[in-house]
């Protein structure tokens, strides 16, 4: 064949067509995670000059939620107003991950100079039988509390976007369609006709309307959020759930505490207080700095080994030390202090897979079905929040259009565990909404992720790359991730190669390559550089993450 320009052009065109066909029609295996494609690439990052933009934005894995948050900010609402509206919207448009039947945790920073406050509106236990599944939902009380303290727009206006999506509907995407399909065995489909018309899960591209949920939200809008705990909605919940009494709902309170805090490479890391896993994130970063992880980044296998052992030590500490502070003695200042962290780091250096079983005890089930978002407003307020139902669609029980959580499965059955199931107690969680304050208030980053037990490792691996490489925010998000469990290191397909796998096996690890896009979470966040007067958003394609900045 003569290699003339025409032949080369035809070959290139054919390769492009083949690439497109492989992208859209490539083989996918199936499991309940529903996202089985190899991890797609995110959009390139972009810095927004605050000379040209107002300086506010929203980051989420759901476009309707982003649109809602930006609409509230455009109207003059602050970050808390937008957070309330986004949270209610996500309960409609991302119903597998969060909603009024669940709970969550929110970090609130009033300005670049402030110490953040952590609001815990996790579910509490009204039964000591894990099979009962449903804990007392804290979501609505959480939204009410943060709005009363920091909101500016009327609460009824903030519910309207969610009501509109529930009443008018929205187009079902592949993620929602797949999650419904794979969750079918756990759900009484006749009790959720909007999601299962004619007994079958709604399909991608169809319009989902939720009239029952719309009416429930309208009741909250008209009667006030207290109705969820002592009105019509409360009565319906207590009548539908045998182990939840009216008093259980009436007595629910939000826990407002100082955020857990630690230092990392000159910045202050603020993250969720116990029983969430902010301490775990802080310990991992502190150990990484103390052990000079930066020096291993030229040797990928040694870097993965060292960070994996740091992860295992921090997770082991979490098992033995973290629980609901209302029931357990959790010394946050001790656990985030340099002396304690360096002591744990010294053990990392010696361990190298010692005591494998002891370091990976089973502690209940925690699924990847959470919703994380970050909001910044033009006055410098920052919100980092993670909401959840437990499993996908929670317990699978739907009451007046709302999915009820499954949090009673997230306790330990060991009476010696700080996470042992006791009535009134909040369950431990890997969730870790985080805000990072740059040295001398030079910058603010709100960051977090869904992903079950991979949440702390996903956040930390992203932050390590930001601290120790010259990568852009987006390149650090796109980089492959890994996570250790017992003696196996799970490696994202994009970073797996024969040499890395061989080297890790020589260290004594088993390896497993993960191709499910959402396995390693979905980093969501915004960054404001106060010195350069720029903002930047994080777009993680693992779960269709995106952002908007104005």
Active site residues: 370
User: Residues 6 or more apart from 447 whose CB is under 8 A from it?
Assistant: 374, 384, 434, 435, 436, 459, 462, 463, 523, 524, 525, 538
In the 8-state DSSP scheme, what is residue 396? Answer: S
Contact 442, 530 (CB under 8 A): yes
In the 8-state DSSP scheme, what is residue 212? Answer: H
Cα 517 from Cα 394, distance rounded (Å): 21
Q: In terms of DSSP H, where are the helices of 322-454? A: 332-335, 338-351
User: Residues 6 or more apart from 217 whose CB is under 8 A from it?
Assistant: 88, 92, 100, 159, 162, 163, 166
172 SS3 class: coil
Contact 184, 192 (CB under 8 A): no
Look at residues 208, 151, 125, 116 and name the one whose alpha carbon lies nearest to residue 436: 116
Report the 3 state secondary structure along 421-485.
CCCCCCCCCCCCCEEEECHHHCEEEEEECCCHHHHHHHHHHHHHHHHHCCCCHHHHHHCCCEEEE
Q: How far is CA 295 from the centre of its chain?
A: 30
Q: Strand 434-437 and strand 267-271: pairing?
A: antiparallel
Q: How far is CA 537 from the centre of its chain?
A: 16
Helix (H) or strand (E) holding 219, with range, is helix 211-223
Torsion, Cα of 190, 196, 199, 203 (10° steps): 180
Cα 203 from Cα 211, distance rounded (Å): 18
Cα 245 from Cα 238, distance rounded (Å): 5
User: Residues 6 or more apart from 231 whose CB is under 8 A from it?
Assistant: 219, 223
């Amino acid at each position: 064949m003569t290699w003339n320009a025409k032949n080369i052009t035809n070959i290139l065109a054919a390769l492009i067509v083949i690439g497109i066909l492989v992208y859209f029609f490539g083989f996918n295996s199936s499991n309940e995670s529903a996202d089985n494609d190899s991890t797609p690439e995110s959009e390139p990052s972009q810095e927004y000059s605050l000379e040209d933009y107002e300086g506010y934005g929203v980051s989420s894995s759901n476009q309707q939620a982003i649109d809602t948050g930006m609409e509230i900010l455009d109207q003059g609402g602050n970050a808390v107003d937008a957070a309330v509206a986004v949270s209610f919207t996500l309960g409609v448009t991302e119903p597998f991950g969060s909603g009024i039947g669940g709970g969550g945790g929110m970090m609130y920073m009033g300005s670049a100079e402030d110490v953040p406050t952590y609001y815990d509106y996790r579910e509490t236990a009204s039964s000591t039988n894990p099979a009962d599944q449903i804990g007392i939902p804290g979501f609505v009380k959480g939204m009410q509390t943060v709005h009363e303290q920091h909101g500016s727009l009327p609460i009824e206006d903030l519910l309207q976007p969610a009501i509109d999506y529930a009443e008018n509907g929205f187009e079902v995407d592949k993620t929602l369609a797949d999650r419904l399909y794979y969750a079918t065995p756990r759900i009484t489909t006749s009790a959720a006709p909007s999601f299962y018309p004619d007994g079958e899960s709604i399909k991608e591209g169809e319009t989902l309307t939720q009239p029952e949920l719309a009416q429930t939200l309208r009741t909250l809008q008209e009667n006030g959020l207290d109705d969820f705990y002592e009105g019509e909605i409360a009565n319906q919940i207590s009548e539908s759930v045998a182990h939840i009494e009216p008093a259980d709902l009436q007595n629910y309170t939000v826990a407002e505490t100082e955020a857990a805090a630690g230092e990392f490479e000159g910045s202050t890391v603020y993250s969720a207080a116990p029983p969430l896993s902010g301490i775990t994130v802080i310990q991992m970063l502190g150990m990484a700095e103390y052990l000079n992880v930066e020096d291993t980044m030229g040797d990928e296998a040694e870097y993965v080994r060292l960070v994996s052992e740091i992860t295992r030590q921090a997770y082991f500490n979490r098992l033995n030390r973290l629980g609901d502070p209302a029931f357990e003695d959790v010394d946050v200042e001790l656990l985030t202090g340099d002396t304690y962290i360096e002591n744990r780091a010294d053990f990392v250096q010696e361990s190298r897979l010692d005591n494998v079983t002891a370091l990976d005890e089973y502690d209940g089930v925690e699924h990847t079905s959470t919703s994380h978002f970050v909001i910044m407003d033009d006055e410098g307020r920052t919100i980092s929040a993670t909401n959840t139902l437990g499993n996908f669609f929670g317990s699978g029980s739907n009451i007046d259009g709302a999915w009820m959580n499954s949090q009673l499965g997230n306790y330990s059955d060991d009476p010696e565990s700080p996470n042992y199931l006791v009535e009134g107690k909040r369950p431990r969680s890997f969730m870790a909404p985080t805000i990072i304050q740059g040295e001398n208030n030079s910058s603010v980053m709100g960051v977090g992720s869904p992903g079950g037990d991979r949440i702390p490792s996903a956040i930390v691996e992203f932050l390590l790359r930001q601290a120790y490489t010259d990568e852009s925010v987006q390149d650090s998000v796109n980089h492959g991730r890994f996570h250790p469990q017992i003696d196996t290191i799970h490696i994202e397909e994009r970073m797996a190669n024969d040499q890395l796998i061989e080297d890790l096996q020589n260290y004594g690890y088993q390896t497993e390559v993960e191709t499910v896009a959402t396995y390693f979470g979905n980093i969501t966040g915004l960054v404001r550089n106060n010195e350069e007067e720029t903002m930047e958003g994080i777009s993680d394609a693992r779960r269709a993450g995106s952002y908007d900045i104005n």
